[in-house]
Amino acid sequence: MRLKDFFKSFLLLCRFLLPRRPSTCHTNHGRSQRYPSLESLPSQTVVCDVEGALLRTSSTFPYFMLVALEAGGFLRGLLLLLLHPLISCLSHEVGIRIMVMVCFFGLRKEDFRVGRAMLPKFFLEQVGLEGFEVLRRGGRRVCVSSMPTVMVEGFLKEYLDVEVVLGRELKVFGGYYTGLMEDGVIGFGHVDFAHHQLFTHCKEVCLVGEAEKRRGHHPLPRSQYPKPLVFHDGRIAFRPDAVSTLCMFLWLPLGFALAFARALVFLFLPYALSIPLLASLGMHSRLITSSDKEERRGDGSQLYICNHRTLLDALYISAALRRHVTATTYSVSPISEWFSPIRTVRLTRNREEDAARMKKLVQEGDLMVCPEGTTCREPYLLRFSPLVAEISREVVPVALESWASMFYGTSTGKLKFLDPLYFLMNPFPCYEAEFMATVATGAIGGEECSSYEMANHLQAEIGRRLGFHCTSLTRKHKYVLLAGNEGTIERERERTRDGDVRMERR
């Protein structure tokens, strides 16, 4: 179906020209007098229904389930799942009110970050290409939703450049959500959506049915995102519709037992036994080595530089080498350090002191450093610290990639010590490690270079192998976006120098 043909039946494309009399506008709600011209949209205001037009499905249950699981916990998510059959039998408005009560009651307003840090990823994956094409051509973009504003505003304004967002407003008492919605504020269901008073000022309204959405909507390609999705948070790695969420709860007991068994194997068995046993327990891994890496003697110490995917990066590199590798950290939880089967060394964020410490560690044995300073889930590389090019004459770049189907093994929350547990609870967690050719840190292509140029070169080489995009973003950018802070306490920030910001803790 051609794009212009699809737009003929598109939902809620409104163009604000002059205020119309209500009687005139209501006559246009039943049908379109004429279909909008895409060429004229840049001079018009486009009003779009998020659930009915922009997203490829009108179901709001998965997004409320994400709020319940990420902000409220598994028990709140289980309650919402048990209520799903009842919600399906009720009207749209009543169902929304029940889900808002279950998901938001008792949540602290200041701590609510699901709408900014977690939901945008899932919303973007459900955006329809056809709806987005109409929305982005408008001179002024307005989006309306039956979901609470705190759920959709971050996604619409930050990633789709929407100027105005109209949604449901939640009541707050003592800094906590009550689970009730404000009366007399914008809010509507799909049945009466076209008759909402907002659209009495619209010259045209275009409607589309659910069947045509399923038949004609295509997902928005990542390359066409107005703003790249580099960072997102949360534990849930799948879109939690009712069936998928039920499968997750059924898997949890087995997943926990399986994670415990995998951890025991990793902690107490030698690599020769643990690797095949872990493979039989569903952990998939793939190792790629360069020719000169295969010829290199295994008894010499080496500095390994890798991108940062999860807390288990160093363990997988150790398993690939069949020997322990020392890993540098800035602030890993004591629980994670206590359970780690390999040596971990804390750095101080003092450039000279950390450089001297890492040089000593390289002399003692193999050392692994993650110059990004924090994890990134998406196919992007954060800025590399130049310090890694100053502590050894040569380094071995290692390109790492990991996949998780149910739970993410990273978080910016307070329970970071649970990161390995969540990753190991996946049915089939997968890791891929590619050891690249050794790189001399003093020159690029035979020409002398600075440590900053070498850091950029290493980033580019790893990015090329993985197919990732290189960025100049740092850990600070990640935590400001996802957690609302810089990820460091005040006294640590004072000690951090400009060049060290890229090598802070996860």
What's the mean pLDDT in 241-251?
A: 98
d(CA 12, CA 208): 8
- Each domain of the chain, given as residue ranges in start order, spans 3-216, 242-503
pLDDT tens-place string over residues 206-218: 666 666 666 667 8
Secondary structure of 103-123 as H, E, C letters: HHCCCECCCCCHHHHCHHHHH
pLDDT of residue 184: 57
- Side-chain half-sphere CA neighbours of 125 within 13 A: 12
- pLDDT value at 24 more than 80: no
Q: Find which of 253-262, 292-301, 388-397, 439-448 is predicted with most confidence, using mean pLDDT.
A: 253-262
294 pLDDT band (50/70/90 cuts)?
very low
Q: Enter the CATH code of domain 242-503.
A: 3.40.1130
Choice between 274 and 193, residue whose per-residue pLDDT is larger: 274
Structure token pair of residue 300: 């010499």
Q: Return the minimum-mean-pLDDT range out of 114-118, 291-295, 344-348.
A: 291-295
d(CA 238, CA 235): 9
pLDDT (average), residues 362-388: 93
What is the mean predicted confidence (pLDDT) over 131-142? 85
Report pLDDT for 202: 65
* Res. 187: pLDDT tops 50: no
* Neighbour-count burial of 462, counting CB atoms closer than 10 A to its CB (0-12 exposed, 13-18 middle, 19+ buried): buried
pLDDT at 4 over 60: no
* Proportion of the chain above pLDDT 90, given as a percent: 60
Q: What is the pLDDT of residues 445-486, one digit of tens each?
A: 888 999 999 999 999 999 999 999 999 999 899 999 998 776
pTM of the model: 0.84
State the Cα–Cα distance between residues 265 and 278, nearest whole angstrom: 7
pLDDT at 485: 75
Poorest-pLDDT segment among 1-5, 199-203, 231-235: 1-5
Mean pLDDT score, 351-365: 90
- The mean pLDDT value for 398-412 works out to 95
pLDDT value for 191: 38
Burial call 294-333: b when 16+ CB within 10 Å, e when fewer: eebeeeeebbbbbbbbbbbbbbbbbbbbeebbbbbbbebb
Q: How far apart are the first and last CA of the chain?
A: 47
Question: Does residue 7 have a pLDDT over 70?
Answer: no
Between the alpha carbon of residue 299 and those of residues 14, 323, 364, the distances in Å are 70, 10, 11
CB 433 within 8 A of CB 325: no
Q: What pLDDT shows up at residue 209?
A: 66
The pLDDT value recorded for residue 140 is 86
DSSP-derived letter for residue 387 is G
- What is the reported pLDDT for 40? 56
Structure tokens given for 190 = 């799909």
Higher pLDDT pick, 86 / 335: 86
pLDDT of residue 212: 67
Sorting pLDDT into bands at 50, 70 and 90, what band is 503? very low
pLDDT at residue number 330: 73
Please report the pLDDT score of residue 295 as a whole number. Answer: 47
Structure-token pair, residue 39: 């060429």
